[in-house]
Amino acid sequence: MDFIEINQIRCYGYTGFLPQEQVLGQWFEVNLRLGVDLGTCSQSDRIEDTLDYRQTIARVKELVQGAKFSLIERLAGAIADAVLESPQVQQANVRVTKLAPPIPDFGGRITIELNREVR
């Protein structure tokens, strides 16, 4: 399996369990590792023969910015479902990070990682 990695898609979104997270929002970062067959495009040099990652980035941003899920796990699942809709993508590793979760006395980040495959 070949892979395309798309890293550090940063956007402001409204997913979160606490009411203020869905009103005030917060920053998220999304990293993708997508299993695709790059055999044809590595020979043809044609964008039509590969995944157009501009569209993938736009779809991820649309989901993060527009969704109001309670759980970051649900957001990660929605992103995985969306990228697997592309016929070129056979596998998806999705990492969604809350860059500044509203947890008292915690300065770290929370990351959810999902692995999904076309069945």
Is 68 a residue of the active site? no
| Residue 30 neighbours by CB under 8 Å, 6+ apart | 9, 10, 11, 60, 64, 79, 94, 95, 96, 97
* Contact status, residue 108 vs residue 100, Cβ threshold 8 Å: no
Helix, strand or coil, per DSSP, at residue 105: coil
Comparing CA positions, the residue from 60, 57, 78 lying closest to residue 69 is 78
DSSP-derived secondary structure letter, 55: H
Comparing CA positions, the residue from 86, 38, 94 lying closest to residue 64 is 94
Active-site entry in 98, 101, 104, 112: 98
What residues act catalytically? Answer: 98
